[in-house]
């Protein structure tokens, strides 16, 4: 009887652990600050002639992620496709490039991004969307683990697009 209880307890603990794991490499809560702390961070962030960008990697898509103006919440951000004629995306490394980095390695990194909207919309066939084109001229990593993007309960799935809530 004791062996059955121990085995059953072990199985329950294992199932609980496997079902509640998550992070930026699969589905699961993204974590991060409280909504109030995030609002305070945004209110205090430096202003300038740049954008704040959040890399949002979804398998087989060509968009880069979300851009917003300094001081504005993620709800005002735009999902964009980078035009890389002046500067390559931060994750444009060969399959086995420096430090073993791969396309999309920077999922959910937050950047300061310089450049401008070109006024063109570009079709991303895999997400079936026309998205604004942004001419990238420079970038700088701000945070490698900023947590949630739109809501405190955000989760990430590399096979589905998270759209800005309205």
Q: Which pLDDT value is given to residue 124?
A: 92
- Cα distance between residue 116 and residue 51, in whole Å: 9
What are 32's two structure tokens?
A: 């991060």
Total structural domains within the chain: 1
Model pLDDT for residues 66-112, shown as the tens digit of each residue: 999 999 988 899 999 999 999 988 887 655 455 656 778 898 899 99
Q: Answer yes or no: is 128 within a domain.
A: yes
Q: How far apart are CA 55 and CA 162, in angstroms?
A: 12
User: What does the alpha-carbon distance between residue 98 and residue 166 come to, in Å, rounded to a whole number?
Assistant: 39
Whether 161 is covered by a domain: the verdict is no
Q: How many residues does the chain have?
A: 166
In a domain, 44, yes or no: yes
Residue 109 is assigned to a structural domain of this protein:
yes
Maximum CA extent, the chain: 71
- Per the CB < 8 A criterion, the answer to whether 124 and 81 are in contact is yes
Task: Indicate whether 159 belongs to any domain.
Answer: no
Domain extent for 72: 2-143
Could you give the CA distance from residue 73 to residue 96 in angstroms, rounded to a whole number? 35
pTM of the model as a whole: 0.74
Distance CA 95, CA 102 (A): 5
117 within some domain: yes
What distance in Å separates the CA atoms of residue 146 and residue 74, rounded to the nearest whole number?
A: 12
pLDDT in tens, 100-159: 567 788 988 999 999 999 999 999 998 899 999 999 999 999 999 888 787 777 777 777
Q: Which residues pair with 80 in a beta bridge?
A: 65
In a domain, 104, yes or no: yes
Query: Is the residue at 88 inside a domain?
Result: yes
């Amino acid at each position: 009887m004791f062996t059955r209880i121990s085995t059953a307890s072990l199985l329950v603990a294992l199932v609980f652990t496997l079902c509640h794991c998550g992070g930026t490499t699969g589905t699961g809560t993204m974590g991060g600050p409280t909504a109030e702390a995030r609002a305070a961070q945004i209110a205090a962030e430096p202003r300038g002639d740049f954008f704040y960008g959040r890399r949002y990697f979804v398998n087989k898509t060509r968009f880069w992620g979300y851009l917003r103006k300094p001081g504005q919440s993620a709800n005002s951000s735009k999902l964009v496709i980078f035009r890389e004629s002046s500067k390559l995306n931060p994750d444009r490394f060969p399959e086995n490039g420096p430090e073993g980095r791969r396309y999309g390695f920077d999922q959910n990194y937050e950047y300061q991004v310089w450049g401008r909207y070109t006024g063109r919309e570009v079709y991303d066939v895999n997400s079936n969307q026309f998205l604004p084109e942004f001419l990238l001229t420079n970038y700088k990593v701000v945070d490698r683990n900023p947590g949630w993007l739109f809501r405190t309960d955000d989760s990430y799935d590399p096979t589905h697009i998270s759209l800005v809530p309205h």
